[in-house]
């Protein structure tokens, strides 16, 4: 999925890129530029700015106004709206910094580019071909997994609430039909 994200959502941008989505983001883009980019490049606009969201929807641009306060809540909102999985697959993951697709790199080629401890303890590495950043699934992945687990739990809760609300609406309609008879 392709997104354009407003300047208030830099952390979400990095998460969506790790999840494999093409995300354009810059704090230098003004509202008009964000709207133009979303429309021209057929990107969904993600924003915390209600006025920007309203402008986008008035212009027929696919947009989502995010209300969540945490990354887990925001990821759940995006996943619910766009049906995206909340799992990182390194085969499709993008560089959180520059948005290019990361590529596997052999352990031998990263030996001089990472700390000795990292080289010794990990066997799989990926590199961004654009900014040259090297990635591995180190100790920080515990926090990454926890955030994704929280996002999945938030998604389950919101979907369960939606199911309950939908079920309630159906029951109300059925009662109204019975009362009219």
List, for residues 77-95, the tens digit of each pLDDT value.
Answer: 999 999 999 999 999 999 9
List, for residues 93-144, the tens digit of each pLDDT value.
Answer: 999 999 999 999 999 999 889 999 999 999 999 999 999 999 999 999 999 9
- 47 lies in the same domain as 127: no
83: left (phi over 0), alpha (psi -120 to 50) or beta: left
> How confident is residue 179, by pLDDT bands cut at 50, 70 and 90?
low
- 126 lies in the same domain as 108: yes
Q: Provide DSSP, 77-146.
A: HHHHHH-------TTT-B-TTT-PBPEEE-HHHHTTTS-HHHHHH---EEE-TTT--EE---TTHHHHHH
- 144 lies in the same domain as 125: no
- Mean pLDDT over 37-59 rounds to 98
Distance, CA of 21 to CA of 88 (rounded, Å): 10
Report the domain count for the chain.
2
Structure tokens at 165: 């609300």
Contact criterion met (CB below 8 Å) for 68 and 80: no
Range of the domain at 110: 103-135
Phi and psi dihedrals of 152, rounded to 5? -65, -40
pLDDT at residue 148 tops 90:
yes
List, for residues 56-66, the tens digit of each pLDDT value.
Answer: 999 999 999 99
Q: For residue 160, what pLDDT is reported?
A: 72
- 145 lies in the same domain as 127: no
Bridge partners of 105, per DSSP, are 125
List, for residues 154-164, the tens digit of each pLDDT value.
Answer: 998 888 765 54
Structure tokens at 59: 């212009």
- 39 lies in the same domain as 70: yes
For residue 97, being part of any structural domain is answered with no
What share of the chain has pLDDT > 90, as a percent? 84
Phi and psi dihedrals of 70, rounded to 5? -110, 165
């Amino acid at each position: 999925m392709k997104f354009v994200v407003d300047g208030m959502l830099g952390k979400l941008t990095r998460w969506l890129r790790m999840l494999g989505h093409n995300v354009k983001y810059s704090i230098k883009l003004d509202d008009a530029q964000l709207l133009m980019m979303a429309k021209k490049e057929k990107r969904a606009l993600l924003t915390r700015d209600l006025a920007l969201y309203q402008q986008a929807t008035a212009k027929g641009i696919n947009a989502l106004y995010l209300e969540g306060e945490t990354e887990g809540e925001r990821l759940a909102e995006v996943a619910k709206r766009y049906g995206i999985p909340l799992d990182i697959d390194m085969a499709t993951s993008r560089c959180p910094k520059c948005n290019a697709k990361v590529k596997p790199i052999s352990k031998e080629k990263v030996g001089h580019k990472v700390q000795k401890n990292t080289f010794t303890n990990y066997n799989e590495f990926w590199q961004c071909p654009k900014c040259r950043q090297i990635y591995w699934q180190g100790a920080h992945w515990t926090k990454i997994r926890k955030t994704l687990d929280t996002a999945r739990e938030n998604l389950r809760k919101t979907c369960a609430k939606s199911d309950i609300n939908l079920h309630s609406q159906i029951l109300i309609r059925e009662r109204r039909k019975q009362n009219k008879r």
